[in-house]
Chains A and B, each alone.
Chain A
Amino acid sequence: MLSAKAKTQFGNFLFVAPYMFVFAWLLVWPLMSGMGLSLFKADLFGGATFVGLENYGRLMSDPVFLQAVGNTFLFVLLCVPPLAIIPLILALLLNRSTRTAAFFRGVFFSSSVLSVTIVTLIWRMVLIPDGGFFANILAVFGLPPIPFFSDPGIVMGSMAIITVWWCLGLPMMLYLSALQQVPQDIYEAAALDNSRWWTTLTRITLPSISRTVVLVVIMQCVLQFQLFGQPQLITQGGPNGASRPIVLFIFEVGFRRWDIGYAAAASQILFAIILLVTLGQYLITRKRTGDA
């Protein structure tokens, strides 16, 4: 027989049960299935053969996959710092209750509501060397166009520019909401002490929103490790594989080659990378907060 307390606790569990059921069904189960699938040689139509860790061994010696891993890290390095800093600057500039600030908040957020297809179409017109907006400006000064999409040394930078433009709205809003929660009396006290702008920023504002900064960095890392649509639509991973990220590799292997066991193994590695990077950042920032 359950005690009265246990009965109450069980009753409480029923409130979260619908969510837990959907969570387990749509997230935990596919995750486990993917892990299982990565141990098989399989296509989409059944008849899988157990191969143990062979798919992981293949990945470790596949130069295309290793290049994709390198590309993905490069992209994250190119994207995450600007996506942490530029929205912060915008939020600091727009954190006031004027109409102009409200207008620009809308302007800077507007790119975030576009789909990746629209974003890539816009930026194709801007960056394509043959008659693109940027090439036309350079032509006015007699300069040759920059091969944004066909030079392996430049192409990931182009993807980063597109992505930063597309994604800066949400972090800006997160920063704005954090800034608006900093108590005004601290700023008033600082003003009474004749604190300079820089001192106020570094001693009051940034420490007050540090948790949001961590959130933005972790969130952007998780998102940008999953780069897919931009290179898929603009370059198909070229030139010379220089813009092929891990997710595009997974897509090509899973849907073009139907080698879904191999694709599942690559997915597990991506999952592990994101998990490790996120945990690492979390632990480092938690330790720092603890030290402070």
Chain B
Amino acid sequence: MKTLVSILIMALAMSACSPKDERTHVTVQRIFGECRANVPRDQAPLRNPDGECEILTSLIDQFQRENPDIDLTVNIVAWPGYDQLSAQYAAGDPPDVVSIHMSSMPDYQSRGLILPLTAELAQVGVTADKFTPAARQGVTIKEQVYGLPFDNWTPLWHINTGLFAKAGLMKDGEPILPRTPEDLLAQARQFKAATGKPYLVQSMINERAAYTRNLYTYLMNQRAAFFEDPKHIRLNTPEARRIVALFKQIYDENLTTKDQDYSSATQGFMNGQGGVYLVGTWMIGAYQAEANTPGRPLYKSYTVKPYPMLFGPERAAYVDGHAWVVSNRKRTPQQDEAVRRFLKFLYDHNYDWSRTGHLPTVQAVAQSPQYLSLPHRRDIVALSEIGRTLPSEVQRQFAIQDIIGDELFSAIAGHKPIEQALTDAETRTNDLLFHLL
């Protein structure tokens, strides 16, 4: 027995003698899902090579390969990841680097939870003038860059050109897009008469963000200054009423799909249930793959365009984006250096990420033949110039988006008069902003 105990103690002592890990440890937290099964370590993805998760997993593997002195611990959190991140900050143990939406940056910046990166990025040769205008605006707060912009995204018009052709809405191989609200209604009626299908495909159940983004884009299109200052929104305006009235008219005339949630709408468009699906840049890859597959309803019948400017001459689009921010926490100089190298690596691989369909944030990438030769990118690249985020000091943009979307759906579906819904959205948003700490 004594021998056995001695052997056990010796084994324990030996196991404690492993060589000291000299690598610099950095924690990275990201969304975009878990797909290790698709991406064996240090191999090309087995499938869906242009997926967000696959690209990012491959990039992080590559960084680890090229930087053996750095050990990245990667936390993958469910979208959007803010409940977990806030809890980590509250507990004093946030990740070193984290991917967040540009629209959420003011929340963390205002509480001093993330660091200004202007000087840090400059040390590795990354300066704000190298970003696209939309990206630069999205990560700049009070003239300081608070994150490395990774992409911009925005809702787009994903179009079934086969159904458009059937409805006589194609010219020289391009879809004819409406120029005014009246144009849109006329086209939608023509489309429905010719195809028997609704013109728009929209996710309406369990969906709040889409209406808000539509509203923002068309308010910008009318040059409406709906945020007079970061603490006040103005929504019950003629410009907003015009937009909501258009979407309500479309709903009332059954020119849109109804009662679909996000997955039904996404699948529905893929199966040819309607002409135009209002959804973001991230679906380009999946729909293009359908368009390349013989026998599928979208085969050779897909294109994508920015929102047509219906209400005025101003070319504008509401955009958001993903950015990498650095937590305000204690780090060694080696860890700071590792963080800088990681951010520079991501900056250098902005093209790889843009294969997802998202807009690049590096001007040189946006102008590169490599990027512009990807499907449909020439049609949408202008959005990285004209796209605009909300004013950079507006906090709680996710919560505001939910409130406005809630009220807009009530108006569009006829549960509330338009004026009342817009007044309620305005009151609820201003109440939220008034009570910020």
Contact = CB atoms under 8 A, between A and B. Distances in A.
Interface of B: 82-83, 86-87, 89-90, 107, 111, 113, 204-206, 208, 257-261, 264, 268, 396, 398-399, 402, 406, 409-410, 413, 415-416, 428, 432, 435, 437
A11 to B, nearest CB: 36
Contacts of A47: 437
B257 A237 contact: no
Contacts, number: 90
Nearest to B437: A43
11 contacts: A44-B87, A45-B90, A48-B437, A128-B264, A130-B257, A149-B259, A150-B259, A239-B409, A239-B413, A240-B416, A259-B432
A237 B406 contact: yes
B100 to A, nearest CB: 14
7 nearest CB pairs, A to B: A129-B259, A240-B415, A240-B410, A256-B399, A44-B90, A130-B260, A130-B264
B409 A240 contact: yes
A111 interface: no
B254 to A, nearest CB: 12
Interface residues of A, number: 36
A257 B259 contact: no
Contacts of A152: 415
Nearest to A233: B206
B399 A257 contact: yes
Contacts of B87: 44
B266 to A, nearest CB: 12
Contact of A130 (B83, B259, B398, B406): B259
Nearest to B208: A236
A256 B205 contact: no
Given A149-B259, A150-B259, A256-B399, A238 B206 contact: yes
Nearest to B113: A45
B410 A239 contact: yes
Contacts of A41: 435, 437
A262 interface: yes
B205 A149 contact: yes
A61 to B, nearest CB: 10
A238 B435 contact: no
A255 interface: yes
A252 B89 CA distance: 18
B259 A44 contact: no
A241 interface: yes
Contact of B205 (A49, A64, A150): A150
A45 B208 contact: no
A45 B107 CA distance: 11
Given A47-B437, A150-B413, A252 B399 contact: yes
A150 B208 CA distance: 13
A44 B92 CA distance: 11
A45 to B, nearest CB: 5
A152 B410 CA distance: 10
B59 to A, nearest CB: 30
Given A130-B257, A238-B406, A252-B402, A258 B206 contact: no
Contacts of B259: 128-130, 145, 147, 149-150
Contact of A131 (B111, B264, B428): B264
Given A42-B437, A150-B259, A235-B205, A255 B86 contact: yes
A259 B435 contact: yes
A129 B410 CA distance: 18
Interface string A223-244: 0000000000111111111000
A256 B402 contact: yes
B189 to A, nearest CB: 21
Given A45-B113, A239-B415, 5 more contacts: A44-B86, A128-B261, A238-B206, A238-B406, A255-B82
Interface string A30-62: 000000000001111101110000000010000
Contacts of B415: 152, 239-240
Contacts of B413: 150, 239-240
B261 A258 contact: no
B45 to A, nearest CB: 27
B90 A234 contact: no
A239 to B, nearest CB: 6
- Which of B83, B204, B410, B435 has the most C-beta atoms of chain A within 10 angstroms of its own C-beta? B435
Contacts of B113: 45
Nearest to A42: B437
A234 B268 contact: no
B209 to A, nearest CB: 10
B165 to A, nearest CB: 25
Contacts of B82: 255
Interface string A246-267: 0000001001111100100000
Interface string A55-88: 0001000001000000000000000000000000
B252 to A, nearest CB: 14
A64 B82 CA distance: 23
B107 A258 contact: yes
Nearest to B406: A238
Contacts of B111: 43, 45
A13 B87 CA distance: 37
B428 A64 contact: yes
Contacts of A257: 396, 399, 432
Contacts of B432: 257, 259
B206 A45 contact: no
A78 to B, nearest CB: 20
Nearest to A244: B406
B392 to A, nearest CB: 18
B418 to A, nearest CB: 13
A220 to B, nearest CB: 26
